[in-house]
Copies of this chain bind each other. A is one copy, B any other.
Amino acid sequence: MGDIDAAGARQSSRPIEVRRFRGGALGLEDDPDLVATEEPFEIRVGYSRRDGSRAEEPVSVTMRTPGHDEDLAVGFLFTEGIIKSGSDVQSVTARGQRAADGLTNVVRVELAPGVSVDFKRLERNFYMTSSCGVCGKASIDAVAVQGQYDVGAVPFRMSGAALGRLPAALKTQQAVFEQTGGLHASGLFDAEGTILALREDVGRHNALDKLIGNELLRGEVPLHRNGVIVSGRASFELMQKSKMAGVPLVAAVGAPSSLAVELAREFGITLVGFLKPDRFNVYSRPDRVV
């Protein structure tokens, strides 16, 4: 549980003045409230050129909730296939105009010497990923073979009762940080249904990248002995990121999309949706629920 700490919790929400409508009338004055922080974030990669000199390339700008930015940067690079392991990373440096507040909007990930990135391939890869299905089944197959881990072969098993305990466990731990109602959560759990780590963000894909990035830096990837729970709906990109990290079971409190189900079946991931204490749906690989 050591990982569910308050680092970044101060930055994840922001005080704000709000006019409340209650009892049929608008208040005459503003009241203080908290809103989830949404801020832009740039990921840059430092790497070696062929001649050994160092170079830097921006790879992504995204809106995110500050906190665990290093995890987010490393997780994004890993789930997008830009780095292959935690040892590809030499250092992670946050910087930006607001560093004085503890808020930084640019993170530079310095790759280890000898680790090279094919930025042309990155572009191609990104397009293929984004356009998966535009060109039909062939692209889904291309996505499906991405990643190093054969998740379908992972012998993870979990009881329905343990699954049913997850939403309450997630909510309890989320309550420590979440006072805004504006954050998505991703939680990592073991086969007994214990939440091992929790990350939050205004973007659901960011919450998962933060979670995976943290595990990668701790040397815990592939996550073959864990499942991931998401507080909202399960979309295409959550399944893809879970596949990259070797996660055999993904549980969503909300609904899955059709493409999430298709990818789960293609990848051999167990996909659980509408997860409640006593009832849920299994959309793929029900053999892992015992």
Contact = CB atoms under 8 A, between A and B. Distances in A.
Interface of A: 13-14, 16, 18-26, 33, 35-42, 61-63, 96-97, 105-106, 127, 130-134, 136, 160-161, 163-164, 180-182, 202, 233, 235-237, 254-261, 274, 278-283, 286, 289
Shortest 5 CB-CB distances between A and B: which pairs? A38-B257, A182-B255, A38-B259, A181-B255, A19-B286
Pick from A134, A161, A180 the residue with the most CB of B within 10 Å: A134
A103 to B, nearest CB: 11
Contacts of A274: 181
A128 to B, nearest CB: 10
A258 B106 contact: no
Contacts of A18: 281-283
A24 B165 CA distance: 12
Contacts of A282: 18-21, 26
B182 A40 contact: no
Pick from A96, A127, A202, A258 the residue with the most CB of B within 10 Å: A258
Nearest to A256: B35
Number of copies: 2
Contact of A160 (B16, B24, B164, B278): B24
B63 A182 contact: no
24 contacts: A14-B258, A19-B289, A20-B280, A20-B281, A21-B160, A21-B163, A21-B164, A21-B280, A24-B161, A26-B160, A35-B257, A35-B261, A35-B283, A36-B255, A40-B131, A41-B134, A42-B134, A61-B127, A61-B130, A61-B131, A63-B235, A96-B134, A182-B256, A202-B235
Given A20-B280, A38-B258, A41-B134, 16 more contacts: A18-B281, A18-B283, A19-B282, A21-B163, A21-B280, A21-B282, A21-B289, A24-B161, A26-B282, A35-B257, A35-B258, A38-B257, A39-B258, A40-B134, A63-B236, A96-B134
B132 A261 contact: no
Nearest to A33: B281
A260 B180 CA distance: 14
